[in-house]
Structure 1
Amino acid sequence: MEASAPQYKLILGSSSTARKKILGDMGYEFTTMSADIDEKAIRKEKPEDLVMALAEAKAEVIIPRVSIGESEGDAEPTLLITCDQVVVYEGAVREKPSSEAEARQFMKDYANGHAATVSSVLVTNLATGTRRGEWDKVEIYFHDLPDEVIDKLIEEGTVLYAAGGLIIEHPLVLPYIKEVVGSTDSVMGLPKGLTERLIKEVL
């Protein structure tokens, strides 16, 4: 017996490869749209407030670009998922590194220490306007990160596009992760359990 298709369309408002993979692994079919917003223009004291504000700003940019069903009688609502993530280290919010030097400093700081990721998920039902969002926090503890590993990571370049210069699932980084308190999918940018719950809440 075939599983019935969900009675809604899903748009992931993100161009993140990791988020696409997680949502795909959860069994969802979806399309993607990315929001180009000036993240630096949005400032909040608390990281939790910042990631929620950024997810909302992304939704606001994407929503006008989505055509909601050609006919009013379209039975399938469209759900939009927008997200954001920052890394918090010693109370300070870290976004994507602005340079190789900053990425290197970020990684040196984590060695034998810990950082946290704060991720937001916002799900908007475009048919009803119902919107639910929450944040999720994960603590990551590190062993020492050797300089040659940091060099390789910077040379490869992916870390320059990651919040806080942090990619825990990276094969070069994995051996130096001591402990992750929380879910790995949340660190990668999309907490599965939270996402599923918010989708149900807006339907």
Structure 2
Amino acid sequence: MDANASSFKIILGSASVARRKILAEMGYEFTVMTADIDEKGIRKEKPEELVMAIAEAKLMETSSQAEAILPKLPVGHYKMDAEPTLLITSDQVVVYEGMVREKPSSKEEARQFIKDYSGGHAATVGSVIITNLKTGFRKGGWDKVEIYFHEIPDEMINKLIEEGTVLYVAGGLIIEHPLILPFIKEVVGTTDSVMGLPKALTERLIKEAL
């Protein structure tokens, strides 16, 4: 963590428990604000463009009735503030055989997603955008991780669906879950990135924003 971490404030623009945990692990104190936007209304050809566009939409109000974060903030107040405040927004999708997967729409879809991963592989593509509310500086980036799976038995898939966490994550993909962990063959990249907030990218963007 940066030695002068106390000389700035952070707002995490996410309701994700995993992202909160990762940012706390990085040694930062922060407050949380959430955006309620229609993510499915945003479409891009490439997953890297999509996650950047959604992280950007969480910041700004678009033409839809989006509940974005920036319009809710007294930005003038942050400009006057002695210490800079950094706003972090992010997004993540899972890519399987070139197709973008978001949160499963049903238990059946979640089951199919996990069956697909069994003995195969998928990738996560995640974005981070940091906005310095004092200076207006904004920069973002994305990170990709490849995940390879052993065969996952049907009974384990059923347990995962019943437990329910997989219904609330992109692509129904959760590698740190105790039920799925034994079936992870290899992760090319970092676990924190798969969980939704790549530490190295976030740290670099924070430094640049300051």
TM-score band (shorter)?
Answer: over 0.9
SS at the partner of 1:185? helix
Structure 1 Cα separation of the partners of residues 78 and 44 of structure 2: 40
2:160 corresponds to = 153
Paired residues of 1:87 and 1:164 also in contact (CA < 8 A): yes
Q: In structure 1, the residue corresponding to 2:6 is in which secondary structure? A: coil
RMSD over aligned CA atoms reads 1.3
* Gap change, CA 1:13 and 1:97, over 3 Å in 2: same
From 166, 182, 190, the equivalent of 1:183 is 190
Residue 96 of structure 1, aligned match among 90, 103, 125 = 103
Q: CA deviation at 1:78?
A: 1.1
Match for 1:168: what amino acid? Answer: I
Q: Secondary structure at the match of 1:138?
A: strand
Question: Which residue in 1 is equivalent to 2:150?
Answer: 143
Q: Answer whether contact 1:63 1:126 (CA < 8 A) is retained.
A: no
Runs of 5+ in structure 2 lacking a partner?
61-67
1:25/1:69 CA distance change after superposition, 3 Å: farther
Q: Distance in 2 between matches of 1:170 and 1:63?
A: 33
Instruction: Provide the rounded CA distance (Å) in 1 between the counterparts of 2:100 and 2:162.
Output: 24
- What amino acid sits opposite 1:172 in the alignment? L
User: What aligned pairs does 1:28-177 form with structure 2 within 5 A after superposition?
Assistant: 28-60=28-60, 61-68=68-75, 70=77, 73-177=80-184
Q: Which ranges in structure 1 are unaligned for 5 or more consecutive residues?
A: none
Determine if contact 2:44/2:50 at 8 Å carries over to the other structure.
yes
Paired-residue identity, %: 75
Equivalent position of 2:13 in the other structure:
13
Displacement, 1:179? 0.1
Q: TM-score, normalised by structure 1?
A: 0.96
CA distance in 2 between partners of 1:186 and 1:197 (Å): 14
Distance 1:33 1:18 in 2: 15
Q: 1:6: how far off?
A: 2.3
